[in-house]
Chain A
Amino acid sequence: MPAGGCGLARKKLNFVSLVKGGDDDNNDDDNGGAFAVRAVFNVIFDDNGGAFAVRAVLNVIFDDNGGGFAVRAVLNVISDDNDGGAAVMSTLTAKLQDWIPRLVLSPSAAIIFVFVYAFIIYTGYLSLTDSRLLPSYGFVGLENYQKLWALPHWHRALLNLAIFGILYIVFCTAVGLLLAIFLDQRIRGEGFLRPIYLYPLALSFIVTGTAWKWFLDPGIGLENTVQRWGWEGFAFDWIKDRKLAIYTVVMAAVWQSSGFVMAIFLAGLRGVDDEIIKAAQMDGASGFTIYRRIIIPLVRPIFLSAFVILAHLAIKAYDLVIALTGGGPGQATELPATFMYSYTFTRSLMGIGASSAVIMLAMIFSIIVPYLYLELRQPKDRS
C-alpha cells in the first residue's frame, strides 16, 4: 500500500537502488517477460537521469504495483513532500494507465492504417496516373477507367463474374440450406456426415483446382471413365469449352464452399427456440409448414450473412481460377481478380490494373459496408 511503499523507498535515496527496490518488490510477479525488459532498461539507462520518464512509463506499463514504488519514490525525491508526491504520483500513473490501452492498440491500428487504407489510397491514385511497368506519377485523370471500360477483356471478366457470382451464391445457399435442414432431423451419424461436408473448406483453392481440373479433364477424368464404362457417346468437356468453362469454376467453388453455408444455417436452425416449434406442432402444423412458415423466416438474417460472405468471396475469387483453368481457355474464365493481376504484372499496364482493383473494391464495399453498419448498429440499439 502507498504508505508502506513510500517508507521503503525513502530509505534508499539513490536512483539505482530505488529502481532495484522496485524490482525486489516485484520478485513475486509471474510476468517474467516484463521483468527481463525492465532489467534490460536498467542496464541501458543506469545512472541516467534522463531515463526517469522512460522508466516511469515502462514501470507503469509492465507492472502494477512494484513499479509504482519507483515512480513514487522518484517523485518523492523530486518534490520532497510526501503527501504532494503521492498525489502527483497517483495522477501521473493514472494518466499513463489511461494511455496503455491506446498504446497497445496502436501497432495494429498503424499496420491497418498503412497496409489497408494508405495502400487503398495509393492504388486509387495510381489508377489516375500513366503507370505502366512501374508506378509513375503523371496524372491522366480518368483515362485508365475509360480504357478499361473499352476493353472487351474487362467486359468478359465482369460478365463471367456475374455468371459465376450468381450461380455460386444460389447453389451454395440451396445446397447449404438443404443439407442443414436434413441434418437437423435428428440424423443418425450426423457427427460423421457433417465433417465430410465441411472438410473442403480446409483445403487450399489450389488443391481444389488441381483435383477438379483433372476430374473434369475429358482425356483422363470423368468423361474418359464414363466412356470406359460403356457409354461411348458420353461427353463432358466443359472445361475445354469457351462457352461452358466458367460453369466448371462454379462446380468446384460450390463443392468447396457449400459446407460453410450448411454450417451457418445449421447453427441458426439449432438456435431456434424449441418451444416455438412445439407450439406450432400443438397447433397442428406439418413439418414442411413449420419450416416454411416459422423456422426459415426466423433464420432470415442468415440468408443475408451468407449472401454477403459468398458475394465478397466471389468478387475476390482468384486462386481457384488460376489452378483450375488459368483464366482460359482463351479468356473464357477470366474474372476481375485475374484480370487485374495479368494487366498489372504480366502486361505491364499498371494504371489499368489499378483502376480494375479500385472497381473490385467498390463492388465489395457496396455490399460489405451497409452490412457491417447494420451488424454493428444492432447491438447498440438493443442495450
Chain B
Amino acid sequence: MSFLQIRDLEKSFGGLRVLKGLNIEIDAGGFLVLVGPSGCGKSTLLNAIAGLETIDGGDILLEGRSLTGLRPSARDMAMVFQSYALYPNMTVARNIAFGMEIRGVPKAERERAVRDVAETLQIGHLLKRRPSQLSGGQRQRVAMGRALVRSPRVFLFDEPLSNLDAKLRVDMRTEIKRLHQRLGATIVYVTHDQVEAMTLATHIAVLRDGALQQFATPVEIYNDPANLFVADFMGSPSMNLIPAVVERDGDGLVISMTRAREDALRLRVPQGLRRLYDGLGGRVGEEVIFGMRPEAIGEAAEAGDGDGGGVVSGECEIELVEPAGSDTYAVTTLGGVEVTARLRAESGVTAASRHVLTFALDRSVYFAPKDGTRLA
C-alpha cells in the first residue's frame, strides 16, 4: 500500500472547479513534486494535503487512513512556506520550538531538539535573533528548521525557493536533496520551476487547470511526455515542437518539415522504429507536432544516414550559434518554428552556413496539433 494516497480529489471555489478528480500516490521516502504553471491548482492540492483547505470530494490517505476532518496539526505533517512564514515577534529558537510548546513538550527537550536542528542546518548562531534580522537564505533555513524539528511523517514545501536569488536557490536545492537522502523523509514539494522538479523529484505530477497531466518519474516525464503540454512545459531548454506532415514513401514513412527558400526537410523513419510506424501509420498526409529534445539533434559525425540506430540526418541552414560554455546551441528554422540543437562545446558549426544535422528519431515524440494528445 502506498504511503500517501490522493484519491479522486475534488475542490471547488465558488462554482470554479480547481481540482478535478486527482489521483496520485507515493511510497514512504518518496519525493513528490507538484509542478505546473501558476493557477494550476498545485498549491491548493498541497494545502488540502496539509488540511488547510477542505476538500469537496475524494479522499487523502496517509498509511491507508483517511485524513479527512483532521486538523492540520493532527496530521503529523510539517510545511515550509513560500514566504517562510516565520513569526515576526518570536526569536528563531522560539519559532522553531513553537509547535512543541503548544504540544506541551518539556522545556529541556525543546531546547535539545532546537539545538540539534540548528546544528544540522548550521543556524546555531542565529537562534537568538528575530526573523527581521535574517537574510533571505537564513530565513529559509529557519523555516526548514521549524519543519525538521517535528520529524513529521510528511514534509510539505510550497515553492520554498522562489524568493531566493539564483545562486542561493541552487545551493538550497542541493541542500534539500541532501536532507531528503539523509532523512529518508517523504516530501511533497510544489514548484513552478521545472528544473527544480527534475532535479529533486522521485515522482513528478504535472498539473494544468486542476487536472493531472502526467504522473511519472522525472526520466519518464522528460523522455516520454504524455501530451504536448507536458512536453512543452518540462525541460530546459524546452523541447523543439515542430509542425510536420507524415508522408508515405514506398513502404516507409517520412516526416516532412517545410523550410523557407528551399525544399522541405524530409526525414525517413527507419524501419526498426516500430513505435513510430504503429503510432503514425494511420496518419499519412496529416499534420502532426514533431517533438525533439535539443540534445536529440546533433552534428553529423560517426552516425551515418540509414536505418542503423534510428538516427537520420539532413542538411540545414544554421542561422544562429549560441555558445553556452559546456554546450553550443545552434538554431535553424523548420516547419516555421525555431529549432534548437544542442551541440558539443567544441563544435565547429558557424552561423549563416549549412551543416548536416542528425536527428535521433528513436527519441522523437509526436502529438496531435488539435488537442495535444500523444500519437507516438
Judged by CB atoms under 8 Å, the answer to whether A and B touch is yes
Contact between chains at A91 and B69 (CB < 8 Å): yes
Which residues of B are found within 8 Å of A1, using beta-carbon distances? 74, 76, 103
Contact between chains at A64 and B70 (CB < 8 Å): no
Size of interface on A: residues with Cβ below 8 Å to B: 15
The digit string for A78-113, where 1 denotes a CB below 8 A from any CB of B, is: 000000000100110110010000000000000000
Contact between chains at A94 and B70 (CB < 8 Å): yes
Interface presence of B119 (CB below 8 A) = no
Residue of A27, A28, A64, A93 most packed against chain B (CB within 10 A): A28
Distance, CA A253 to CA B104, complexed state (A)? 59
Contact between chains at A97 and B69 (CB < 8 Å): no
Interface presence of B101 (CB below 8 A) = yes
Distance, CA A119 to CA B119, complexed state (A)? 63
Contact between chains at A65 and B104 (CB < 8 Å): yes
Contact between chains at A26 and B69 (CB < 8 Å): no
Given known contacts A1-B103, A25-B104, A64-B102, A90 and B73 CB-to-CB distance under 8 angstroms: no
Distance, CA A81 to CA B103, complexed state (A)? 24
Main secondary structure of the interface of B (DSSP, over half): mixed
Interface presence of B354 (CB below 8 A) = no
Distance, CA A87 to CA B65, complexed state (A)? 10
Tell me the B67-81 residues at the A interface (CB within 8 Å): 69-71, 73-74, 76
Contact between chains at B104 and A2 (CB < 8 Å): no
Which residues of B are found within 8 Å of A353, using beta-carbon distances? none
Interface presence of A209 (CB below 8 A) = no
Contact between chains at B69 and A90 (CB < 8 Å): yes
Distance, CA A97 to CA B73, complexed state (A)? 13
Contact between chains at A26 and B70 (CB < 8 Å): no
Distance, CA A64 to CA B102, complexed state (A)? 8
The digit string for B110-154, where 1 denotes a CB below 8 A from any CB of A, is: 000000000000000000000000000000000000000000000
User: In this complex, what residue of A is CB-closest to B69?
Assistant: A91
Which residues of A are found within 8 Å of B70, using beta-carbon distances? 90, 94
Given known contacts A28-B101, A28-B104, A65-B103, A94 and B69 CB-to-CB distance under 8 angstroms: yes
Distance, CA A2 to CA B62, complexed state (A)? 15
- Nearest chain B CB to A98's CB is how many angstroms away? 9
Tell me the B28-77 residues at the A interface (CB within 8 Å): 66, 69-71, 73-74, 76
Contact between chains at B71 and A90 (CB < 8 Å): yes
User: In this complex, what residue of B is CB-closest to A87?
Assistant: B69
Which residues of A are found within 8 Å of B73, using beta-carbon distances? 64-65
Interface presence of A66 (CB below 8 A) = yes
Distance, CA A93 to CA B73, complexed state (A)? 12
Which residues of B are found within 8 Å of A91, using beta-carbon distances? 69
Q: Pick the contact of B102: A2, A65, A94 (CB < 8 A).
A: A65
Q: List 12 A-B contacts (CB under 8 A).
A: A1-B74, A1-B76, A1-B103, A65-B73, A65-B102, A65-B103, A66-B104, A87-B66, A93-B71, A94-B69, A94-B70, A94-B71
6 closest A-B pairs by CB: A91-B69, A90-B70, A28-B104, A94-B69, A90-B69, A25-B104
List chain B positions with a Cβ less than 8 A from chain A.
66, 69-71, 73-74, 76, 101-104
List chain A positions with a Cβ less than 8 A from chain B.
1-2, 25-28, 64-66, 87, 90-91, 93-94, 97
Having A26-B104, A64-B73, A65-B103, one finds 20 other A-B pairs with CB under 8 Å, namely A1-B74, A1-B76, A1-B103, A25-B104, A28-B101, A28-B104, A64-B102, A65-B73, A65-B104, A87-B66, A87-B69, A90-B69, A90-B70, A90-B71, A90-B74, A91-B69, A93-B71, A94-B69, A94-B71, A97-B71
